Structure 1
């Protein structure tokens, strides 16, 4: 028996390990790697995807938080570079040293949303991202304005990437089996990501969607100005609209008008955070 099977899933880390090789091959194939493309796997776990990726003709690296699994992956896949780090604290800006990088991973349900929030806005030169998340989260990540699932996460992600719902993954392909369906989502970079507007955009989507059932004029009553009134006129937006009716682009332009002075959000994300080692 493969020694990886002895690593019991840790509930504290939200671990649900893939166990179906056909699904694993389909997931990796969906990344559409070309020879020579660098790839970074987030949370390799017991190596279900890593085993396939290890045969890729290009640099392969894995980022894993669990120290026991880090040791096992290093021994089992010597050609794969392993970074022992938490994806929530990782210096994603460092991936710009790898133009054309693809990211892939079966993300733990309990951290998938905040991790994707950081990755899409801080990875500056990636080619594609392909992640397995809870189906409910996948629907929010790829939702369009006006839909029931559209929210702050949808609006934020939509300002940096183009999202696609790829396919649904049933519970029985995991050990242990989750109680809900999972799904694969793919992200491709937008040609005009909102890097310069990130701080204002983050503040704007959070304040709006905390009160998503209220009207725009009510939510922004304390911040209403002539500039906001002009913005409404230029975009044809009625102050009675609700946040979920505004597209990612509309929210970005509104953020520029509001321009909150959020210096904390504008500061460096990872002055001392761990990034990719130089050899990768």
Structure 2
């Protein structure tokens, strides 16, 4: 192997570091896959790029080369010295040591441009991390993630399919979701036991359907999908009446995976309006 090649640098970075199971670490090694990811992201010099979990810098280097600057968030403190040494020639390379699940992305944006977030996310935190990022709203321009293929299929699912669920509704309420391509296990060290996939999430500039109370919307979505094989009548019992559903043109015997984002928003807005009216009536009596 050429000691000056990218392959050699990638294999030799922090050589003593072993992937940690508790961090869900699988390091990307396939240069062809790395190039495809970078092309999909399309980094520009004007972007505010943020990489979650840079690991040993496989994506970090080409992102830096393309944009000239990059901020990374890394939880594993043993990897951080190696990253700083590897990219010391880039004055605009910034390392934030910490947990992305607790990171304030809106504060990071500040008064600057919206963030473009990239990452090979650990499988064990991918879903809660995406939920956390969705809450950042307009602070994020777009997101490109490597995730377990099963999670990407859930994010990009369509109503009526087996993969359509709570995560699908939450993601598609806020974002346009695109599954880009599959990544096989042999692209990583150590090899995961499942396929991965690249997904692009682009927050809607204007929400197609607006929930008056997003927290209520997601409470009801969680309730609806609590038991997928049961009907809305059963899952919403004591929370949303069959009459309310019928008033919206939704058959109470439908199952949760058959409803669209628009229908869930309509239910949440009707419940919110009914609760507000009930509260106002109660205050007058």
Aligning the two structures, in what range does the TM-score lie when normalised by the shorter sequence?
0.7 to 0.9
Equivalent position of 1:144 in the other structure: 158
Equivalent position of 1:121 in the other structure: 135
Q: 1:230 to 1:258 in 2, by over 3 A?
A: closer
Matched, 1:36 2:46: yes
Q: Does structure 1 conserve the Cα–Cα contact (< 8 Å) formed by 2:137 and 2:203?
A: no
Q: Does structure 2 conserve the Cα–Cα contact (< 8 Å) formed by 1:215 and 1:243?
A: yes
Let me know the Cα RMSD of the aligned residues.
1.9
The structure whose RCO (Cα within 8 Å, separation 6+) is larger is: 1
Equivalent in 20, 23, 26 of residue 33 of structure 2: 23
Equivalent in 24, 30, 39 of residue 14 of structure 1: 24
Give, in whole Å, the separation in 2 of the partners of 1:195 and 1:92: 23
Equivalent in 80, 85, 99 of residue 86 of structure 1: 99
Shift >6 Å, 4+ stretches? none
Structure number, greater radius of gyration: 2
Give, in whole Å, the separation in 2 of the partners of 1:28 and 1:36: 16
**TM-score normalised by the chain length of structure 2:** 0.84
Q: Does structure 2 conserve the Cα–Cα contact (< 8 Å) formed by 1:4 and 1:46?
A: yes
> Which stretch has the larger CA shift, 95-104 or 141-150?
95-104
Question: What secondary structure is seen at the aligned counterpart in 1 of 2:44?
Answer: coil
Cα offset, 1:231, TM superposition: 5.1
Equivalent in 174, 186, 191 of residue 177 of structure 1: 191
Question: What secondary structure is seen at the aligned counterpart in 1 of 2:138?
Answer: coil
**TM-score normalised by the chain length of structure 1:** 0.86
Matched, 1:206 2:222: yes
Q: Compare the two structures and name the one with the higher helix fraction.
A: 2
Q: Which runs of 5+ in 1 are unaligned?
A: 261-280
Query: Number of residues paired by the alignment?
Result: 257
Q: Which runs of 5+ in 2 are unaligned?
A: 1-7, 274-285
Equivalent position of 1:110 in the other structure: 124
